[in-house]
């Protein structure tokens, strides 16, 4: 173990006199088979510098009850949703428990010791009868870095203390560098997991999980909690005069939260497993609930502090709250917003969307349409809240005259769909941000993963390419939905059907769906082309455009491209500039991204906006700062490339005309009014337009580096055959097709008759 550097504040509290008389409930972990004086971990604590001899005394505390709860016992209980009140740093109760009698000459030492004890136990010798709860310190969100996590022993590096984070996920294989928990090197009651808060912190509780593993069943069933100001001398939380034992997990995935009977103030906290699953090992994933004490001189706090200046509603919103907030924004900005719904969820909740445009409710000729969706996995809550914050932000900034926002609103028709899966969200919201685990609420009410519930059009297109049906029998775009998928008996969620109808109705050009649990932007294809291959680079014909779009979001995010940031789980996407081809990460058939690209004109990407799927609401201001610029920059990319209108000689727009770009094997089509938008990177392109009954027309269009799509209009004329057909249909006649010899004979006969 490496001795830690003590802060000035800790040094001032722990004077030599105070240390000699420190009233501590030292970690009583002698219930195992090995005696405390024989355990080298304990011996190491006693031999650290300046602490070779520490007098251990016990002090009784008021009786308390062991309060622990398990989601299965009280599923309706919610995590408190108010902001953490860190202003109440000390309990007003006075110390009733008195120290043991000692000679008069040691009175000063006892007084100093009591000061130290009071700095650790906020109840000043007596636990408060009112429990408090602070927000998570940030093991899951990575605010607590690896160097702040320590353990008595580890089984191997991949199961080290740095992996003991709530909801961390393991790799596919055992024995790799990215396993799913901290696991002790040996199974006995002398093991511990330690967090260094790097400043005095008011600790109020602990949340635990077992090991994330497909092959192992490891979890802790009970534990003690110890705190310290110097990492040398430890106080065990007490139940009267007995060490307090917290009941922990019954299986490995459902988080269990234990709130302390009263807050304790210290710098270090340890979790000491006392019992564990009989057929498993000591393995834990942990989150600590704690409020940092006020200290403006603390370097670590100032270095990581992120403050937002936006006056927005930073909290988690239930379905009712979300609907109300959308109504409030609509009333604030009635001239640029419109609320509508695209359908209903399986339980009947409406899927509300809000439109932001200078002419809401209308498609303006030449104006591109953009969409953000979130919450297809109901437990990935951050994206939902980000869209609600974006909605508020754009309204307020538009009213304040922000030219960037005004230009975006006036030149773009923006659609925000915050909750694709409201049924799943309500399940996760009911238990709270820290207790929903990794998967509660992910699926729809009928157990369907909405994001991967779309028809697999990739296989249809690739089979047609192998058979050389393109473009003779099939187009390379707007791949039709197979009949079996549209049948009533198909396993298709009602939410998915609503999304498809919405995507077909609106001429979307660019879209992003916000996901959670990682920090990366993925782009199509999401399915590998080689059968049976789990990971394989599978680019689209527009791969260069997709890579730019993905990078535009990742590069403006505060953390995605930070080479020094820690990986969320197993993959370090920062090495790839925070972006990755979906299929090279993991194959997934029927994704929303692939369907959007192959069935519509819309280029769709997935933004995984945070390691924590359901962050505590105290984290929302920082997460907003992390993603705000990225959300705006990505929307602005809808104006990159070329745009125009395809008209006939009479100036009428031609719908469903095909726009082809030389060298790119993916076409798009014009909207109902004949307008189109083709996302392209800077360069010169040969663009061809063709429509049924019209002559094929080509021209060169150049895309510059400045923001704003290049105008590239087309006027095309009818072919002679289409004109003849139009005339014949108009006069209800059919064209006469006679053999040449018959025509010559008729003309000869007419000449002889003089006609």
Q: Each residue of 576-595: pLDDT tens digit?
A: 899 999 999 999 999 999 99
d(CA 259, CA 594): 45
Query: Torsions phi, psi of 642, nearest 5?
Result: -125, 155
Asked if pLDDT for residue 565 goes beyond 90, the answer is no
Judge contact between 388 and 322, C-beta under 8 A. Answer: yes
d(CA 374, CA 730): 50
Residues 6+ apart with CB under 8 A from 560: 519, 520, 521, 553, 554, 573, 574, 578, 630
Give 370's pLDDT tier (boundaries 50, 70, 90): very high
> Could you write out the DSSP letters of every residue in 440-509?
TT-S-TTS--GGG-S--HHHHHHHHHHTT-TTTTS-SSSPPPPHHHHSTTS---HHHHHHHHHHHHS-EE
pLDDT (tens digit per residue) in 26-76: 333 333 333 333 333 333 333 333 323 333 333 333 222 333 333 333 333
d(CA 547, CA 524): 10
Give 88's pLDDT tier (boundaries 50, 70, 90): very low
pLDDT (tens digit per residue) in 316-365: 999 999 999 999 999 999 999 999 999 999 999 999 999 999 999 999 99
Q: How many CB atoms are closer than 10 A to CB 345? A: 25
Closest by Cα among 612, 569, 477, 728 to 140: 612
Judge contact between 361 and 337, C-beta under 8 A. Answer: no
DSSP state for residue 320 in the 8-state scheme = H
Residues 6+ apart with CB under 8 A from 272: 27, 29, 189, 191, 192, 223, 224, 225, 226
Look at residue 739 in the predicted model and tell me its pLDDT.
61
Residues 6+ apart with CB under 8 A from 402: none
> 3-state class of 188 per DSSP?
coil
For 114, what's the count of Cα atoms within 13 Å in the CB-facing half-sphere? 16
Give 253's pLDDT tier (boundaries 50, 70, 90): very high
SS3 per-residue string spanning 387-425: HHHHHHHHHHHHHHCCHHHHHHHHHCEEEEECCCCHHHH
d(CA 165, CA 284): 8
Give 118's pLDDT tier (boundaries 50, 70, 90): very low
d(CA 653, CA 39): 84
pLDDT (tens digit per residue) in 660-685: 999 999 999 999 999 999 999 999 99
d(CA 366, CA 670): 11
Look at residue 721 in the predicted model and tell me its pLDDT.
77
What Cα–Cα distance (Å) separates residue 533 from each residue in 172, 178, 228, 455, 705?
A: 14, 22, 51, 20, 38
What Cα–Cα distance (Å) separates residue 514 from each residue in 106, 137, 352, 371, 623?
A: 63, 24, 16, 11, 13
d(CA 170, CA 730): 69
d(CA 566, CA 215): 25
Look at residue 376 in the predicted model and tell me its pLDDT.
96
Look at residue 737 in the predicted model and tell me its pLDDT.
56
The rounded mean pLDDT for the chain is 83
User: Worst-scoring range by mean pLDDT, 256-265, 400-409, 532-541, 559-568?
Assistant: 559-568
Domains of the chain from N-terminus onward? 146-295 (2.60.120.260), 319-527+536-578+598-639 (3.40.630.10), 642-731 (2.60.40.1120)
Look at residue 741 in the predicted model and tell me its pLDDT.
65
pLDDT (tens digit per residue) in 382-438: 999 999 999 999 999 999 999 999 999 999 999 999 999 999 999 999 998 889 889
Judge contact between 374 and 384, C-beta under 8 A. Answer: yes
How would you classify the pairing of strands 714-715 and 642-647? parallel
Q: Bridge-partner residues for 710, per DSSP?
A: 642
User: Worst-scoring range by mean pLDDT, 85-99, 244-258, 614-628?
Assistant: 85-99
pLDDT (tens digit per residue) in 201-242: 999 999 999 999 988 999 999 999 999 999 999 999 998 889
What Cα–Cα distance (Å) separates residue 361 from each residue in 335, 336, 339?
A: 11, 10, 9
pLDDT (tens digit per residue) in 301-322: 555 677 888 999 999 999 999 9
> 3-state class of 263 per DSSP?
strand
The answer to whether the peptide bond before residue 525 is cis (omega within 30 degrees of 0) is yes
Look at residue 742 in the predicted model and tell me its pLDDT.
66
Residues 6+ apart with CB under 8 A from 40: none
> Could you write out the DSSP letters of every residue in 563-619?
TTSPPSSS--GGGGTTEEEHHHH---TT-HHHHHHHHSS-EEEEEEEES-SS--GGG
């Amino acid at each position: 173990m490496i001795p830690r550097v003590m802060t000035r504040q800790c040094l001032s509290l722990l004077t030599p006199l105070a240390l000699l008389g420190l009233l501590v409930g030292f970690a009583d972990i002698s219930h195992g088979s090995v005696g405390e004086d024989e355990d080298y971990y304990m011996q190491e604590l006693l031999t650290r510098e300046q602490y070779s001899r520490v007098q251990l005394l016990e002090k009784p505390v008021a009786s308390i009850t062991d309060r622990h709860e398990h989601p299965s016992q009280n599923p309706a209980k919610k995590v408190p949703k108010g902001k953490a009140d860190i202003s109440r740093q000390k309990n007003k109760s006075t110390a009733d428990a008195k120290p043991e009698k000692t000679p008069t000459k040691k009175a000063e030492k006892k007084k100093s010791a009591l000061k130290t004890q009071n700095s650790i136990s906020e109840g000043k010798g007596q636990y408060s009868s009112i429990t408090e709860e602070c927000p998570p310190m940030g093991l899951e969100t990575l605010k607590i870095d690896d160097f702040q996590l320590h353990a008595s022993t580890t089984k191997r590096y991949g199961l080290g203390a740095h992996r003991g984070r709530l909801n961390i996920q393991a790799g596919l294989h055992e024995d790799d560098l990215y396993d799913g928990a901290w696991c002790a090197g040996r199974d006995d009651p002398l093991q511990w997991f330690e967090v260094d808060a790097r400043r005095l912190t008011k600790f109020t509780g602990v949340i635990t999980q077992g090991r994330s593993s497909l092959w192992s069943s490891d979890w802790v069933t009970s534990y003690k909690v110890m705190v310290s100001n110097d990492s040398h001398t430890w106080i065990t939380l007490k139940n009267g005069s007995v060490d307090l034992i917290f009941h922990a997990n019954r299986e490995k995935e459902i988080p269990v939260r234990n709130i302390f009977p009263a807050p304790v103030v210290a710098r270090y906290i340890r979790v000491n497993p006392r019992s564990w699953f009989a057929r498993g090992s000591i393995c834990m994933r942990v989150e600590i609930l704690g409020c940092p004490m006020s200290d403006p001189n603390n370097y670590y706090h100032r270095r990581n502090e992120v403050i937002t200046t936006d006056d927005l509603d930073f909290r988690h919103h239930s379905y009712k709250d979300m609907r109300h907030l959308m109504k409030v924004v609509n009333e604030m900005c009635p001239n640029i917003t419109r609320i509508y719904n695209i359908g209903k969820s399986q339980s009947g909740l409406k899927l509300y969307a809000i439109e932001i445009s200078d002419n809401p409710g209308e498609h303006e000729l030449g104006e591109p349409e953009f969409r953000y969706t979130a919450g297809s996995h109901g437990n990935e809550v951050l994206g939902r809240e980000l869209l609600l914050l974006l909605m508020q932000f754009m309204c307020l900034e538009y009213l304040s005259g922000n030219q960037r926002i005004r230009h975006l609103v006036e030149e773009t028709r923006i659609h925000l769909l915050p909750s694709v899966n409201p049924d799943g969200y309500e399940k996760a919201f009911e238990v709270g941000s820290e207790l929903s685990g990794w998967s509660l609420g992910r699926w729809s009410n009928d157990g369907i993963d909405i994001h991967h519930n779309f028809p697999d059009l990739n296989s249809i297109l690739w089979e047609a390419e192998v058979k050389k049906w393109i473009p003779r029998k099939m187009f390379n775009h707007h791949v039709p939905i197979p009949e079996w998928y549209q049948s009533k008996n198909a396993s298709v969620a009602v939410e998915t059907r609503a999304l498809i109808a919405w995507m077909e109705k609106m001429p979307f050009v660019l879209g992003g769906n916000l996901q959670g649990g990682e920090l990366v932007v993925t782009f199509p294809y999401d399915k590998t082309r080689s059968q049976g291959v789990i990971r394989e680079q599978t680019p689209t014909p527009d791969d260069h455009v997709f890579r730019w779009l993905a990078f535009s979001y990742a590069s403006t995010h505060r953390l995605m491209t930070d080479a020094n940031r820690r990986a969320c789980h197993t993959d370090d996407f920062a090495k790839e500039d925070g972006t990755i081809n979906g299929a090279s990460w993991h194959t997934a058939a029927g994704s929303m991204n692939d369907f959007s690209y192959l069935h519509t004109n819309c280029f769709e990407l997935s933004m995984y906006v945070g390691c924590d799927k359901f962050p505590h609401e105290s984290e929302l201001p920082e997460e907003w700062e992390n993603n705000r610029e990225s959300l705006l920059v990505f929307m602005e990319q809808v104006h990159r490339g070329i745009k125009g209108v395809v008209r006939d000689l009479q100036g009428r727009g031609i719908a469903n005309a095909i726009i082809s770009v030389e060298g790119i094997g993916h076409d798009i089509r014009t909207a109902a009014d004949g307008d189109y938008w083709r996302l392209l990177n800077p360069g010169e392109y040969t663009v061809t337009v063709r429509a049924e009954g019209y002559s094929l027309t080509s021209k060169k269009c150049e895309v510059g580096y400045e923001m704003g799509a290049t105008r590239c209009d087309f006027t095309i004329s009818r072919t002679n055959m289409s004109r003849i057909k139009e005339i014949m249909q108009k006069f209800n006649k059919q064209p006469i097709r006679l053999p040449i010899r018959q025509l010559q004979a008729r003309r000869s006969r007419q000449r002889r008759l003089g006609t």
